[in-house]
Amino acid sequence: MGDLVANLAQWVVDALYSFGYVGVGVLTALGYLHLLPPTQLVLPLAGFLVGQGRFSFIPVLVASTVGGGIASLVMYLPGLWFGEENLRRIVEWFGRLVFVEKSDLDKAGKMFERHGGKAVLIGHLVPGVTALISVLAGLKRMPIRGRFLFYTFLGTALWNGAVIGLGWVLGAEWTLVKEYAPIVEYAVLAAVVGGISWFVWRRWRARG
């Protein structure tokens, strides 16, 4: 297993060296679609290359955000075209091929019921839910223009930036990103909740 990860990591590095920021965007899109290579590998390695001076942080963030955003738009379509029962059958039949289970769909569904449109933002900060939250947005007929695009690209930028930054800081120890990922997740979620609370408070004071 270790050799497989090492070989895949080397392939990702070679691809990033060969295709630059375009490679960052394409590989991130594939990861967001639950295809190989996973974003948990691509983004830390991109951050590592930022630390090595091969890339710059902002272009990597932009490329990965565009790639992740496009992938989320693609995942919106099955929810728009198929009903909930058909989606469950598809996940049951083919979900294991892309590391998705029905429990992931249920988790995304509960998140959407609890938070409404904001679930798209929150879902992009929770690994394993990112693609499915876009499917649920399509199923709920959430308008693409406006909230879906805004929450999708905001959530993608926040999460990608955090993981890329962590890979940059860890450098050659980028494999430790998996251990720090839960901390990053809670930190980003806390920042988002704090930002929303501050915005609501400012609006409330302005009206008062």
Q: Which domain holds residue 35?
A: 2-207
Q: Give the pLDDT of the chain (208 residues) as one tens digit per residue.
A: 456 677 888 899 899 999 999 999 999 999 998 887 888 889 989 999 999 999 999 999 999 999 999 999 998 988 888 877 777 777 777 665 555 666 677 777 777 778 777 888 888 887 667 778 888 888 888 888 888 999 999 999 998 998 898 888 877 665 655 554 555 555 555 555 555 555 556 666 666 5
What whole-number distance in Å separates Cα of residue 50 and Cα of residue 58?
Answer: 10
What whole-number distance in Å separates Cα of residue 58 and Cα of residue 128?
Answer: 25
C-alpha distances in Å from residue 102, one per residue of 23, 91, 111, 132, 189? 31, 6, 14, 10, 24
Both tokens of 153, joined, read: 């690209």
Both tokens of 84, joined, read: 């909930």
Number of domains the chain is built from: 1
User: Measured at the alpha carbon of residue 178, what is the angle toward residues 64 and 101, in degrees to the nearest 5?
Assistant: 80
Burial class (CB in 10 A: 0-12, 13-18, 19+), 78: middle
Q: What is the pTM of this model?
A: 0.78
